[in-house]
A and B are shown apart, each in its own frame.
Chain A
């Protein structure tokens, strides 16, 4: 713990990242309280105040139908974070379990799981998600499923590689000789040694999931109006650059800050947890 704190103290970027992420999470959680116009998260039209540059009332300006951008960014953050957590909540357990099985049991398990993983990993993530979205209806739920489908293989491969290394360690042999079950060896002996790497990757991935969900909605797939989404906000505003710059610049910055923040925290975690010991 003292070591962790001293590494943290000597790494101002990690502190900055942690503060940034904390701020984003807090803002998203308290959107109902902070947002100046909570009703603007939905389908609201205000033809008097549409497309206004930032001022004292609308600190980030308003969009083309007069909704407060700041409000919409806060709610978009909330949805992005929920989506990120949901994607990881499914893909991490699935990917980790498959990775443990492939890495520890080996033989045909390894062959089948790793070949399937290779297939998924050989398709560029966005292309895969796009094709899934193309077949299915472009809804929030399907967006999440699409991203999840392309996310688990990364965890499978990560855990597979660690598990293959740990498998030959003496403590695994000791557990086997004692007569521990395969499930015990995988989840109680090997898994704890994968946790630092998994946690680090999850933090980094929060940023990437936000980015990819935004990319999908930027392309018109994914989160649909009137639900606020950073990606679709950037897309809407892109047509009105440079005159109505605030339309895409603020949502764009919001994406950037989130990705950047999670990356800083992830890098810091790697140092503290010694994920690459």
Chain B
């Protein structure tokens, strides 16, 4: 059974100027322990998809959501806001783009960690929480957990905060981890390290990951399977290798060609928009 199954998801917002369709019926699924990437440019609808999976858009007035989002076989839209809130931080967790601003600047890491743990274990004792947090920080290769737990986020480097975020996100052993452009705000060397770290950890815990990104290189290295999203539609899906080595959709091909290569090759001439980008879905075989 899939951990996450999205069927024909549509989303539109009612604005002053009239309704705006953001998602035109996207479908995707993530199996247990699978790392799936949703790749697209800004405005493609990748981030709102993540927000819907987190249950954050369902209660927003003006947002109309259609289709089904099933998490471990349970329909998210059928749940109450309270039930969805209970899932967040326990069964579904999230890592954001900028680690430093997603931690609360006025509380120490230790206190914020305790709150995360308390979502799964209400009333967890301070000593217990600290011991658990220490173990989790060691897992993300933080060698002096005691100092980190006593620090405020601004006293730590961006890379350190990112590790803390990863440790927190995995603290309650969630079944699904949503990673929205993780590490984009970090330096490349730090980004590479945190991605390696994240991959090892989710492998160890068998966590499924929905990885939202615009960076083809990062996706290529991290994901098992890729969905390419363009203006609210999935245009191509398949195993990462197949999609990257034999991109079938004109839009995917344009994305690949536009990506500057480390080996050179010059600057390609590629249109920003093209009618062919709206061509029908291309699916690569050997799906799991």
Instruction: Give A contacts to B, CB under 8 Å.
Output: 2-3, 6-7
Instruction: Give B contacts to A, CB under 8 Å.
Output: 16-17
Residues of the A chain whose Cβ atoms lie less than 8 Å from the Cβ of B16: 2-3, 6-7
Closest chain A residue to B15, Cβ basis: A3
Residues of the A chain whose Cβ atoms lie less than 8 Å from the Cβ of B17: 2-3, 6
Q: How far is the CB of B18 from chain A (nearest CB, A)?
A: 10
Closest chain A residue to B18, Cβ basis: A6
Q: Given the complex of chains A and B, what is the CA–CA distance between A3 and B17 in angstroms? A: 7
Q: Given the complex of chains A and B, what is the CA–CA distance between A6 and B14 in angstroms? A: 13
Q: Given the complex of chains A and B, what is the CA–CA distance between A6 and B18 in angstroms? A: 11
Main secondary structure of the interface of B (DSSP, over half): loop
Main secondary structure of the interface of A (DSSP, over half): helix
Closest chain B residue to A5, Cβ basis: B16
Q: Given the complex of chains A and B, what is the CA–CA distance between A7 and B16 in angstroms? A: 8
Residues of the B chain whose Cβ atoms lie less than 8 Å from the Cβ of A2: 16-17
Q: Given the complex of chains A and B, what is the CA–CA distance between A6 and B15 in angstroms? A: 10
Q: How far is the CB of A165 from chain B (nearest CB, A)?
A: 18
Residues of the B chain whose Cβ atoms lie less than 8 Å from the Cβ of A7: 16
Q: Given the complex of chains A and B, what is the CA–CA distance between A2 and B17 in angstroms? A: 8
Q: How far is the CB of A200 from chain B (nearest CB, A)?
A: 19
Closest chain B residue to A10, Cβ basis: B16
- Lowest 7 CB-CB distances: which A-B pairs, in order? A6-B16, A3-B16, A7-B16, A3-B17, A2-B17, A2-B16, A6-B17
Q: How far is the CB of A146 from chain B (nearest CB, A)?
A: 43
Q: Given the complex of chains A and B, what is the CA–CA distance between A19 and B17 in angstroms? A: 25
Residues of the B chain whose Cβ atoms lie less than 8 Å from the Cβ of A3: 16-17
Q: Given the complex of chains A and B, what is the CA–CA distance between A108 and B16 in angstroms? A: 45
Q: Given the complex of chains A and B, what is the CA–CA distance between A7 and B15 in angstroms? A: 11
Q: Given the complex of chains A and B, what is the CA–CA distance between A195 and B17 in angstroms? A: 25
Q: Given the complex of chains A and B, what is the CA–CA distance between A2 and B18 in angstroms? A: 12
Closest chain B residue to A7, Cβ basis: B16
Q: Given the complex of chains A and B, what is the CA–CA distance between A197 and B200 in angstroms? A: 51
Residues of the B chain whose Cβ atoms lie less than 8 Å from the Cβ of A6: 16-17
Closest chain B residue to A4, Cβ basis: B16
Q: How far is the CB of B15 from chain A (nearest CB, A)?
A: 9
Q: How far is the CB of B29 from chain A (nearest CB, A)?
A: 40
Task: Provide a sorted-by-A list of 7 A–B residue pairs whose CB atoms are within 8 angstroms.
Answer: A2-B16, A2-B17, A3-B16, A3-B17, A6-B16, A6-B17, A7-B16
Closest chain B residue to A6, Cβ basis: B16
Q: Given the complex of chains A and B, what is the CA–CA distance between A6 and B17 in angstroms? A: 8
Q: How far is the CB of B20 from chain A (nearest CB, A)?
A: 14
Closest chain B residue to A2, Cβ basis: B17
